[in-house]
Amino acid sequence: MPVYLLGDEILFPPVDHAENGLLAVGGDLSPERLLAAYSQGIFPWYSEGEPIFWHSPDPRFVLTTESFRAPRRLERKRRTEGRLRVSLDEAFGDVIAACSKAPRPGQRGTWITKEMKAAYAELHRLGFAHSAEAWSGGELAGGLYGVSLGGVFFGESMFARASDASKIAFVALVEQLARWKIDLIDCQVETSHLARFGARSLPRGRYLEALRRELSKPTRRGRWSFDPQRM
C-alpha cells in the first residue's frame, strides 16, 4: 500500500492505510492540520532534513487516569525529599527547547526541529498545547509538553535535568487531568518508562473508539494552572 502524499488540503487518508505506522508524508505544521491530525489519531514525527512524516501506529500505547499508578519509590520521594515546585504553562518555550536536546529512545538526534518548536509554540499561544514544569531553587529541573483536545492529552516529550524531575511533573499533571476529567493520555509508542505508570498497548481500533468518545468532551483551552486545593 503506497504512503499517502499530502497536498495543500487538510486531508488525511484513513488510518488503516498506514504501513508500519507511517500514514502520510508532506503537508505542513499549521495549527489546523495538527489539530485535525490529533483528532484522527495521527501525529507528526520526523528528523531534521526530512519531509514531515505522519504516523498512526498499531497498537497504540495509552494511559488512562483510572489505570495510572505512581511507583511507590517515586511517591516516597515526593513526600520525604525536598519538594520540587511543580507548575503548568509557566515555561512552555523552555520545556520544548530542553526536550529538543533529548532524543527519543531508539532515535539518533532530535526529532523536535525548529519548525516543530515554532508550530507547537503557536498551538500553545492558541491554548491547545501545554507544559508541566518541575523547579528546583528557581531553576527548571524537568518537564514535559503535549496537546489537549476534549478529554485527551496527547503527550509529546519530556526531559529531566535532575533525578525524577520529569516524573514528578508528570504525576502532578496526571492528577490534575483526572480532576478535570481529561481521562485519556496518548503515549504514542511503547516505552518501559511509561509502562511503569500503567500505560498499555491498545489495538488502534480500540484506541480510536476511546479517542472519539473523549473528544466529545469540551476542550479546556487557554493557559492551565493547578486547582487551588492542590496547592
| Interval 181-201: pLDDT, tens | 999 999 998 999 899 999 999
* Phi and psi torsions of 53, nearest 5°: -100, 130
The answer to whether the bond into 31 is cis (omega within 30° of 0) is: no
The pLDDT confidence band at residue 101, using thresholds 50, 70 and 90, is confident
For 35, counting Cβ atoms within 10 Å of its Cβ (0-12 exposed, 13-18 middle, 19+ buried), the class is: middle
**What's the whole-number average pLDDT of the chain?**
91
Please state, in angstroms and rounded to a whole number, the distance separating the CA atoms of residues 46 and 110.
9
- Residue 76: pLDDT band (50, 70, 90) is confident
Confidence of residue 107 (pLDDT cuts 50, 70, 90): very low
Residue bearing cell 468518545: 213
Q: What is the pLDDT of residues 138-191, one digit of tens each?
A: 999 999 999 999 999 999 999 999 999 999 999 999 999 999 999 999 999 899
Question: Does 86 have pLDDT greater than 60?
Answer: yes
The answer to whether 176 and 227 have CB atoms below 8 angstroms apart is yes
CB 78 within 8 A of CB 172: no
Q: Where are the alpha helices (DSSP H) in 66-107?
A: 72-80, 92-99
Q: Would you state the CATH architecture of domain 4-57?
A: 2-Layer Sandwich (3.30)
Q: Are strands 22-26 and 60-64 parallel, antiparallel or unpaired?
A: unpaired
Residue of 93, 136, 116 whose CA lies nearest to 43: 116
Domain segments of the chain as ranges: 4-57, 61-226
Supply the pLDDT for residue 126.
Answer: 98
| Strand partners for 51 | none
**Quick check: 227 and 220 in contact, CB under 8 A?**
no
Q: Which residues contact 46 (CB under 8 A, 6 or more apart)?
A: 52, 53, 111, 113
Fold (CATH) for 61-226: Aminopeptidase (3.40.630)
User: What is d(CA 105, CA 230) in angstroms, rounded to the nearest whole number?
Assistant: 33
pTM (two decimals): 0.92
CA–CA gap between residue 159 and residue 167 (Å, rounded): 9
